[in-house]
Amino acid sequence: MTFNNAAADEDVNPLADPEERPAPPAVFIIFGASGDLTSRKLMPAIERLALRRLLPPGFAVVGVARTEMNDDDFRERMRELVEKGGGGGAEARHVWDSFVGAFRYIAGDYDDPDTFERLKDVLAELDNERGTAENRLYYLATPPSTFPTVIKGLAAHDLNRPTSDDAFVRIVIEKPFGHDLQTALDLDATVHEAFDESQVYRIDHYLGKETVQNVLALRFANAAFEPTWNRRYIDHIQITVAESIGVEHRGSFYEQAGALRDIVQNHVMQVLSMTLMEPPVTFDADGIRDEKVKALKAVEILTPEKVKQQVVRAQYARGWVGGDEVIGYREEEGVNPHSTTETYVAMKLRVDNWRWAGVPVYVRTGKRLPKRVTEVALQFKRVPHLPFAPEMVKDLEADSIVLRIQPDEGITLRFGAKVPGQAFRVRSVSMDFFYGAAFLEETPDAYERLLLDALIGDATLFIRSDEVEQAWHIVDPLLQAWEHEDVPLATYESGTWGPGEADDLMAADDRRWRRP
Ligand code: BG6
């Protein structure tokens, strides 16, 4: 069986995108092929792309990692993973069997030149045997400390540049992009010594989520919303990235990260910039990224004093989530019992530009909150004059528009409506759009979407170096203040919506957090 772009005759969805683009021939090279990300995200994404007939016959995978394995062990391991992850089934097995022959594995250290020599040989072999056309997509799925070693290794063996005019060489880099502003700049310098920025695809899986992209569709394809999307009508913005899970088996990783680096520096900043940005002139990678950078540049940089006033950091204690009793962060495996790493952050940011002056943005993110929900809520100002008696509108909240990024992907508009009956009462009601119901289609997984984009060469949903830098400019002062100043660390019971201090932050402005 080959992978062509012919749609299966059965199950044709009339609302599906008729122009799905297949990937060109290429070798996908994963550094860190024996790791968690490869098994949880990359291989399942590859399998789904294959099942959707979006991978051509000239597609091959090379895994590189330190674990000793041969090609067959690697193939078997990948198959087991995919099957365990819910893949499998007769069709999947058939597809898998037909392309697993193009899987190779190289066991080696990243600082050993021999690893790269062998990689070079395997790539040449695949070009000859499988028609992979000298195209390469590298993927750094290793611990971030090894990124510079791998990048330098590729450059030292001339694996960083295309070998012909028609071929491409690209590199996908996983977050975290640096540990703070300085290390991010250092990493970028290393990347740019080996690769041109146009070859670099920094991945933030939030950008692969359909609903994050839908922020752009909602704002820039409609005349109905954009006119109100500014300081004249919006009172404030709330961005929530809540998770019910704890740190799971990633305690020692999380100790070095914390919620600010793990979620705010990347996912929140991406969602924030798409919410705040001006309309791009063109819908292409640089058109969009230029506007996102401009939006981030308008975000207030907090002084240490303001960090104390406008930011709350906290850590989860024991509690109950979804009916189960759960342990506190300091009791998690791999976590220092005296840890001061934050698992929750809430903050208020000012945006200093024409559109948003005077409209605060409140952000909160945390683990072990009551449920998993990511949303952006724009709360409108109250009308200038309410011609109703107070009791008629006592159940009327301010209007809002809520972009539900996950779960229940969609959009809710909250507005006031008359309660049926003789009395004239106005109450807030919701008008809901559900993504799944409207398009009758399963949304592709973020990694699936982003891998295909990187293979095709569309960088729109990847982060440019100046975006990363700007996001660090916003986040770095918080890290500095936490390290050098006396900033308290609050606690919250697992299964609650965070510490009381976060409610106080809102109450000081006479506002409340939404209950998603
Ligand atoms: C990752 C973080 O980037 O995003 C995790 O490292 C977090 O800690 C995850 O759980 C959340 O992603 P999603 O897609 O479940 O919202």
Structure tokens, 360: 């605060």
Q: Which of 259, 363, 369, 262 is nearest to 317 (CA)?
A: 369
Query: What is the CB < 6 Å shell around ligand 1?
Result: 205, 243, 262, 374
- Across the range 399-408, mean pLDDT stands at 93
Low-confidence winner among 95-99, 187-191, 401-405, 489-493 (lowest mean pLDDT): 95-99
CA distances from 289 to 277, 459, 463 (A): 10, 10, 8
Query: Which residue's alpha carbon is at the smallest distance from atom 2 of ligand 1?
Result: 262
Torsions phi, psi for 195 (to 5 deg): -130, 150
- Across the range 446-464, mean pLDDT stands at 94
pLDDT above 60 for 17:
no
The span from the CA of 365 to the CA of 344, in Å, is: 6
**Candidates 267, 268, 344: which one to mutate for ligand 1, based on the most atoms within 8 Å of Cβ?**
267
pLDDT above 80 for 4:
no
Question: Cα 74 to chain center, whole Å?
Answer: 28
Instruction: Determine the distance separating the centroid of ligand 1 and the alpha carbon of 164, expressed in angstroms.
Output: 38
Structure tokens, 307: 């960090």
From 205, 236, 267, 338, the catalytic residue: 267
pTM exceeds cut of 0.85: yes
Q: How confident is the model at residue 7 (pLDDT cuts 50, 70, 90)?
A: very low
Q: What is the DSSP letter of 199?
A: G
Q: With pLDDT > 90 as the criterion, what percentage of the chain qualifies?
A: 79
Strand partners, 317: 493
Report strand pairing: 490-494 vs 311-321. Answer: parallel
Query: Which residue's alpha carbon is at the smallest distance from atom 13 of ligand 1?
Result: 206
Instruction: Determine the distance separating the centroid of ligand 1 and the alpha carbon of 252, expressed in angstroms.
Output: 16
pLDDT tens digits, 68-88: 999 999 998 888 877 776 666
For the chain, the average pLDDT equals 92
- Across the range 253-267, mean pLDDT stands at 95
pLDDT tens digits, 470-483: 999 999 999 999 99
Q: With pLDDT > 70 as the criterion, what percentage of the chain qualifies?
A: 95
- Active-site residue flag, 236: no
pLDDT tens digits, 286-328: 999 999 999 999 999 999 999 999 999 999 999 999 999 999 9
